[in-house]
Amino acid sequence: MITKFELDKLAEKYENEYFIDADPVQFPHRFKSKEDIEIAGFISSLVAYGSRKVFIKKLEQLFDIAEQEPLNFILNFEEGILGDFNYRFGKTDDFNQIFNIMKNLYSKDGGLEKLFEYSYKNVSTLRNLRFFKIVTDYFYSRVKSGAGQGFYFMIPNPENGGAMKRMNMFLRWMVRKPPVDFGVWNCIPQSELLMPLDVHVARVSRQMGLLTRSSNDFKAVIELTDNLKKYCPEDPVKYDFATFGYGVSQD
């Protein structure tokens, strides 16, 4: 198994402003206000799958449609503004539905931070899938009938047992401190964050001896996070940068 010294060196090397340029976290970094940052982060996390080169290009297009004003875009969202914008599973109507629900969230219910804070106060841990279910149920309870596959891919049902990678990535951005992350939310302790697990992180974590489970599911997220907590209980997700760096060194 990789040592704490090796993990810490990798995390220290790769957690810097240079990481931002090629990562979807670059989009919320364009903004200063908490609301703009969290909306830009949430939207970026929805689309952050598939080819990085392609989804970065799609996010550039989407933020151009939003005129680089995420909060204003959501508060004044109207169907038709997206034109025929789509990305893989996500068709135009899927994005329309998500943004209309976000419009309701920001105009009536306090925004994304309030939603996640409400969920955390009710569950007190991210290790319980109910934490994610409260968040996704906000969207599911307001979606119009006939929502497509893309809607449920971008807002996945945690009860299916998936890793919830993109939502955990979004929470890392909001909760952890700069330079890469933002630290604009105080409603969830960073010690409670879970590792954003995808195929790459899972492969590297197994090479490091940090993950034994063969499936890349929520149980694997818990196993990996628990092993990383042995090295840094107050901030286990900082090692997301270490897995990235280890992968680079192996390639």
Write out pLDDT tens, residues 37-46.
Answer: 999 999 999 9
Contact 88, 50 (CB under 8 A): yes
Q: Environment class of residue 90 by beta-carbon count within 10 Å: exposed (0-12), middle (13-18) or buried (19+)?
A: buried
Ramachandran category for residue 111: left, alpha or beta (phi over 0 → left; psi -120 to 50 → alpha): left
- Cα separation, 102 vs 108, in Å, equals 10
The mean pLDDT of the chain is: 95
- Cα separation, 214 vs 216, in Å, equals 7
Over residues 78-95, the mean pLDDT reads 95
- Show the tokens assigned to 246: 């280890």
In the predicted model, is pLDDT for residue 197 greater than 70?
A: yes
What is the rounded (10 degree) CA torsion for 208, 19, 240, 231?
80
The pLDDT value given to residue 147: 84
Provide the residue ranges of all domains of the chain, joining segments of one domain with +: 4-250
The pLDDT value given to residue 134: 98
Contact 132, 192 (CB under 8 A): no
- Cα separation, 227 vs 65, in Å, equals 42
- Cα separation, 148 vs 69, in Å, equals 27
The pLDDT value given to residue 244: 85
Q: Which DSSP category does 124 fall into?
A: S
The pLDDT value given to residue 249: 56
* Strands annotated E in the chain: none
- Show the tokens assigned to 105: 């969230």
Contact 159, 215 (CB under 8 A): no
Q: At 199, give phi and psi (nearest 5°).
A: -60, -40
The pLDDT value given to residue 229: 97
Contact 89, 153 (CB under 8 A): yes
Q: Which of 8-12, 146-150, 213-217 is the least confident region?
A: 146-150
* Strands annotated E in 9-145: none
Tokens 């943004």 belong to which residue? 99
